[in-house]
Amino acid sequence: MKKIQKYQNTKILVLGLARSGFSAAKLLHDLGALVTVNDGKPFEENREAQDLLELGIKVVTGSHPIELLDEDFTLMVKNPGIPYSHPLVQGALIKGLPVITEIELAYEISEAPIIGITGTNGKTTTTTMIEQILNQGMSRGKAYLSGNIGYPASSVARDVAKDDCLVMELSSFQLMGVIDFRPEIAVITNLYEAHLDYHGAREEYVAAKWAIQKHMTASDWLVLNWDQAEIRALAETTQAQVIPFSTKAKVDGAYALNGKLYYQTEEIMAINDLGVPGAHNIENALAAIAVAKLKGISTSVIREALQHFTGVAHRTQYVGQIHQVKFYNDSKATNILATQMALSGFEPGKVILLAGGLDRGNGFEELVPSLKEVKAVVLFGETKNKLRQAAQQAGVSIIEEAIDVASAVPLAYQLSQAEDVILLSPANASWDQYLNFEIRGEAFIQAFQALDEKVGKE
């Protein structure tokens, strides 16, 4: 990593731990900063705080005393999940203290170029596609996953060399805290309404996403979804070279035409050869193709990587099949749009949908057109009655209820026949029954495995 001197003997407050805060605190300590960490979890329950204290880092846990700001800090590094309305963040801003997230630190120390991927949907899949393609085709160095995908950027950046590449998934929360952050290539997969409880308004959310290109220049590339008018308008305001991708039109970038994927005039592969289903995955693949071509990866490598790409855990992940019935885990579908996109990837009349979860007060009228294409639904969780109403409105003839995901799987299998698809795509957050969507997805996988053990050999 670059041995920067700017933080030597400077007092810095790290607000919030978890993985990113822990990583940022350790990095800053190693760079010679005088670090204070503040986290709401009590010290006796806070393994990260205990570990940092052993390194000689000052820790304040259990509450967020506003008096902390009486110290002469020069910078606050904020956990991305902490809103800007937090009293300590507000106090820091009033004092004129810069407030950043740890991706800014990663940029400052990284010897490798950064490929940044953001958007409302498809970030993780696109990020993973890019990393796998690059690692199959790079002649020197390695591509490293980092950022919102689960690997703190400020930790990964410590270990990369100049021939490597940081492939970084970026959330709007992270991008709000950038000052000089500049990727070599940036991708915006799409923009829809999301996280308004955090951002307050759609305009603020879009502005946060658009910050990915804030410091890009004419020597950098910005890969954009050209099917969205809002993004086409934003493209007029960037200094970067714009590389469009589209599923609807031939563009000077990556596009789909007559069942095939192209980059400029070159045919890359047939859509049917993609290893993952769904219209949304065509978009993801096009974005990945554009990045791969910009990095000089051959068409044969791109084709092979995308043919063998089977998805990311909990994102339309192929789990296996029992007697020609295929099982897909899309537990990451925590909103209606994500479930709509998942359903679009399968043959009408063949899907048995498993859905339900936390009741956030919304209805499911928007899901009705997609439900018209399913064979049956198995519902669970707090929203099962609302989803039942939507399924009835859609004319779904088979509507069943289960206690949870584990009991929904064998029930769905009883309703299936050869060539059907059993799809967990809940359209809801998991928190009514599960700590997170990953645990919900694992429950689906374990239920599949138990069912396979029981009936798969029959």
Give binding residues for ATP as ranges. Answer: 119-125
**Where does 31-181 show beta strands of DSSP type E?**
34-39, 58-61, 75-78, 99-100, 114-118, 143-147, 165-169
The residues, any chain, with a CB within 8 Å of residue 162's CB and separated by 6 or more, are 111, 112, 141
Q: Would you say 255 and 262 are in contact if contact means Cβ atoms under 8 Å apart?
A: yes
Q: Which of 335, 289, 352, 284 is nearest to 312 (CA)?
A: 284
**Side-chain-side CA neighbours of residue 425 (13 Å):** 29
Annotated binding site: 119-125
Decide: 319 and 445 in contact? Cβ < 8 Å.
Answer: yes
Report CA dihedral (276, 279, 281, 285) to the nearest 10 degrees: 110
* DSSP secondary structure of 372-402: TT-SEEEE-STTHHHHHHHHHHHT-SEEEE-
Q: Which residue has the tokens 């769904």?
A: 278
